[in-house]
């Protein structure tokens, strides 16, 4: 940036106000800030696309699974279809509960005593584990959304500080000398906002969708637990 200011002051040449030109004209610290913000933005978009695709996939799979589950087929039939490769969280909760149920009924898993608590615990643990997997990566979006504007602001402050130092050394305060350095510094703030705004929007949207999906799994777990409880009571009669 200092070289740019001195060159403009001495030659009167027209500065390059393109994003690429302002990047190369910026101070090394500002350049590092810009690179970091661009990398954070690219990684955020990668997470956003992956999570959006995954949420669509698991919701569609849950719709198909619930349709099959409530279609009147026996639990054993549904379990036999899902037990080898449960492909989504709801199916994994179902398979984990059915395995505990079958072990308990057969006497290999502690018998029927405390079966209610074990089923509830198995489904709760499986749900938490699956939701943790589903939510992995969204924390990065929250971090980018909350810190990127401040990182960009740091780059701007640093750039403006260097710009004014160069102006003082050149003893030239014309707008033609000041504008390029200020523009280069403000680019860092712009990049910070470009990285932060999509990350915040996506984080809020994905969090809401995941919360709804978690509530859906919890509701299924309660209904399935009630079904198994009734079956246990019927067998104990």
Lowest mean pLDDT among 22-26, 100-104, 146-150, 182-186: 22-26
Instruction: Read off the pLDDT band of 236 (50, 70, 90).
Output: low
Q: In terms of pLDDT, which residue wins out, 224 or 4?
A: 224
pLDDT in tens, 139-191: 999 999 999 999 998 888 887 877 777 666 666 666 556 666 677 778 888 89
Q: How many CB atoms lie within 10 A of CB 12?
A: 10
pLDDT tier at 9 (50, 70, 90 boundaries)?
Answer: very low
Q: Return the DSSP state at 13.
A: P
Q: Residue 6's pLDDT is what?
A: 46
Predicted TM-score (pTM) of this structure: 0.79
The average confidence (pLDDT) of the chain is: 82
pLDDT at residue number 210: 94
Residue 235 vs residue 73, higher pLDDT: 73
Q: Where are the alpha helices (DSSP H) in the chain?
A: 2-11, 19-25, 28-69, 75-82, 89-106, 115-135, 138-170, 175-236
Give pLDDT, residue 81: 87
Q: With 60 as the cut, is the pLDDT of residue 3 above it?
A: no
Token reading at 23: 């990047």
- CA pair distance 100, 79, nearest whole angstrom: 12
Q: How far is CA 127 from its chain centroid?
A: 19
**What pLDDT is stored for residue 11 in this prediction?**
45
Predicted confidence band of residue 87 (pLDDT cuts 50, 70, 90)? confident
User: Tokens representing 36?
Assistant: 């970091």
Average pLDDT, stretch 193-199?
94
- pLDDT recorded at residue 111: 55
Q: Which of 43-57, 167-181, 195-209 has the lowest mean pLDDT?
A: 167-181
């Amino acid at each position: 940036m200092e070289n740019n200011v001195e060159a403009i002051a001495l030659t009167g040449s027209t500065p390059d106000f393109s994003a690429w030109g302002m990047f190369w004209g910026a101070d090394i610290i500002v350049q590092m800030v810009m690179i970091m913000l661009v990398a954070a933005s690219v990684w955020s978009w990668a997470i956003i696309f992956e999570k959006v695709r995954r949420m669509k996939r698991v919701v569609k799979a849950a719709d198909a699974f619930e349709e099959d589950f409530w279609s009147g087929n026996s639990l054993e039939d549904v379990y036999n279809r899902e037990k080898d490769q449960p492909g989504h969280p709801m199916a994994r909760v179902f398979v984990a509960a059915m395995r505990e149920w079958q072990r308990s009924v057969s006497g290999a898993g502690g018998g029927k005593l405390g079966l209610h608590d074990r089923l509830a615990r198995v489904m709760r643990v499986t749900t938490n584990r699956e939701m943790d997997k589903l939510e992995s990566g969204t924390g990065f979006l929250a971090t980018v959304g909350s810190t990127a504007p401040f990182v960009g602001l740091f780059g701007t402050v640093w750039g403006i500080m260097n710009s004014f130092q160069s102006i003082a050394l050149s003893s030239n305060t014309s707008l033609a000398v000041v504008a390029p350095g200020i523009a280069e510094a403000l680019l860092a703030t712009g990049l910070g906002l470009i990285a932060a705004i999509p990350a915040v929007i996506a984080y809020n949207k994905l969090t809401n969708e995941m919360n709804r999906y978690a509530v859906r799994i919890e509701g299924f777990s309660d209904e399935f637990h009630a079904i198994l409880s009734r079956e246990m009571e019927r067998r104990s009669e």
